[in-house]
Amino acid sequence: MATARSDETPAAGPSVTLELRGVLAERLAGLGQRRGTRTLIQLRPPPGTAVADLLAQLVEADARYGLLFDAAARRLPEHVEVVLNDRVLDLQGGLAARLQPGDVLTFLPAHAGGR
């Protein structure tokens, strides 16, 4: 299986964008480009790559991606919510959802609390 490649030049053609927000953007800023409070990472996985496969490849290539995905368990950590093209990932097939050029995967730190 071809591995995903990081590409820092968004204008180089169709790609998948990882958009990191909140503390995830801060902690993983070195992996992409900062845009305000977000970190954007451009990738070029083969069309039809499952979200889980892409994330597992990223963790294998750079352990810092382990904040976004538990590759051994093949699941998202409790503290991370993922949105694919402005819709909750779970409503689009979950980690088995297939990515296409132009897709945006947004990673949000889960929030809890209250009184």
One digit per residue, pLDDT tens: the chain, 115 residues? 344 444 444 444 579 999 999 999 999 999 999 999 999 999 999 999 999 999 999 999 999 999 999 999 999 999 999 999 999 999 999 999 999 999 999 999 987 655 6
Overall size of the chain counted in residues: 115
Taking the C-alpha atoms of residue 55 and residue 68, their distance in angstroms, rounded to an integer, is 8
| Closest-CA residue to 103 (of 5, 26, 16) | 16
For residue 14, the model assigns a pLDDT of 72
For residue 63, the model assigns a pLDDT of 97
Does residue 94 come out as left (phi exceeding 0), alpha (psi in the -120 to 50 range) or beta? Answer: left
For residue 105, the model assigns a pLDDT of 98
**Topology (CATH level 3) of domain 45-109:** Ubiquitin-like (UB roll) (3.10.20)
Measured between its terminal Cα atoms, the distance across the chain in Å is 48
Domains in the chain: boundaries = 45-109
Taking the C-alpha atoms of residue 59 and residue 92, their distance in angstroms, rounded to an integer, is 22
| Closest-CA residue to 41 (of 57, 17, 12) | 17
For residue 111, the model assigns a pLDDT of 73
For residue 112, the model assigns a pLDDT of 60
